[in-house]
Structure 1
């Protein structure tokens, strides 16, 4: 392993330790849902199945916690440790990503920055950060799910100014797309910070936590704040209505 690789692994391990410390304080029962590590060969198999190279920090994360497991009962016996129903394990990553990609239906009249600018201006689409709102984009890998309504993606085809592998929260029903963090490590650090804030003063944290269910999936969503506001990469785009 190179020094760079060792440093990435160390930072991911530290970030997960911070998340676990926060959960131990505010939602200790949720820790039981964290899965153990995935073998390297299993992570390699995900890449082969999806024909993608996962970011090194996400690979390192799977080798610490291979997703989460809410268990066989509904509702789950324990609250979720994340603001989703679950983080995908390696099997679910492949399954959910294939389902996501199966929904890809290229529409040149709609998959256009000019149309996206129009939809944002008319409050029919909510974009926060450098993300292209393409449902089923083949340049994404699904890594988390909330009842099939909200997903977390690793985005390998970001809009201008974005970072390949950035973490995106997508709520298709609400037409909301939020870049949560430029990398998986930074997502974990952000989440750990908000857990710590919640432990000190719940009103100061963007997290809302039901101690029977877990954190609300709206964490880090800006749909209400970004209503009618274009992200920087769309600022100078001439809007075009897709209805004319």
Structure 2
């Protein structure tokens, strides 16, 4: 059963209210970096420029906050409210996604589950969840950025077992791909819950928060001890080295 537009809007608004309450308790100065709502024409224009429709819950999120202002910059106005430099506004979503797509080139010898299995086994690649590790994948939309090194993507072409629109964290330099949540709403809820855990007892929360910088970008990433472990969808794939 598909949620109605009103239900989607309500769930996203509730999740953002929980995040704002959490930030108000542990990082209140960061709240000023949450942008005002994006007007519907700006969201429509972004979709037109991208050539694809954004998930309804992400559209609803943009109508609450059109991304965030960059935090932890010099001079810094305030710490970032998210574990990134910023969430992208509608203009930056288009710009960053176009830059992402510019890096795409078909690599049949590498864009192969057998090769990915080999790279995971060799600890040259980390995959946490049903995500295809294709740099510049045309099915992805960039929605968050940390200095171009760590990105959050809406994944429109997930691996088997994934959900279209799932949120993926990509650490380019570390060759690490982590599915953070099956949807944008579930990502917001996960973040709200971890903020609440941090407020109650920082040692129990996956978040690490620097009061001057904001949450650490490692939130949601795979622990180094898990490198070398294949995700379920790759478990029975025969590995193939691309070097042979």
- Do these two structures clear the TM 0.5 threshold for a shared fold by scoring above it? yes
- For 2:61, the equivalent position in structure 1 comes to 61
CA displacement at 1:118 relative to structure 2: 0.2
Q: 1:52 is matched with which residue?
A: 52
> Is 1:169–2:163 an aligned residue pair?
no
Inter-partner Cα distance in structure 1 for 2:164 and 2:133: 15
Q: How does 1:132-147 map to 2 (within 5 A)?
A: 132-147=132-147
Q: 2:224 matched to which residue of 1?
A: 224
Native 8 Å contact 2:72 2:80 kept in 1: no
Structure 1 stretches of 5 or more lacking a match? Answer: none
1:4 counterpart residue number:
4
Deviations 1:99-141 (A, max 9, x none): 0000002110000000000000010000000000000000000
- Aligned-pair CA distance for 1:75: 4.4
Aligned runs of 1:89-128 on 2, under 5 Å? 89-128=89-128
- Distance between the aligned counterparts of 1:158 and 1:71, measured in 2? 30
Q: CA deviation at 1:242?
A: 0.5
Contact 2:113 2:237 in 1 (8 A): yes
Q: Distance in 2 between matches of 1:180 and 1:75?
A: 30
**Number of aligned residues:** 243
Distance 1:223 1:136, change over 3 A: farther
Query: How do residues 66-77 of structure 1 correspond to structure 2 at under 5 angstroms?
Result: 66-70=66-70, 74-77=74-77
SS in structure 1 at match of 2:46 = helix
Partner of 2:22: 22
Cα 1:129–1:155 shift into 2, 3 Å: same
1:237: how far off? 0.2
Deviation at 1:224, TM superposition (A): 1.2
Q: What does the per-residue CA deviation read over 1:185-239, in whole Å, with 9 as the maximum and x for residues that have no partner?
A: 0000000000000000000000000000000000010141421100000001000
Structure 2 vs 1, CA of residues 115 and 223 (structure 1 numbering), >3 Å: closer, same or farther? farther
Q: Is the 8 A contact 1:86 1:145 kept in 2?
A: yes
Structure 2 regions of 5+ residues with no counterpart? Answer: none
Aligned-partner SS, 2:193:
helix
Displacement of 1:70: 2.3
Question: Where does structure 1 differ by over 6 angstroms across 4 or more consecutive aligned residues?
Answer: none
Counterpart-to-counterpart distance in 2, 1:71 and 1:139: 28
Deviations 1:14-39 (A, max 9, x none): 00000000000000000000000001
- Structure 2: distance between partners of 1:71 and 1:16: 18
**Which stretch has the larger CA shift, 223-232 or 63-72?**
63-72
Are the equivalent residues in 2 in contact too, given 1:176–1:223 (CA < 8 A)?
A: no
The whole-number CA distance in structure 2 between the counterparts of 1:142 and 1:188 is 16
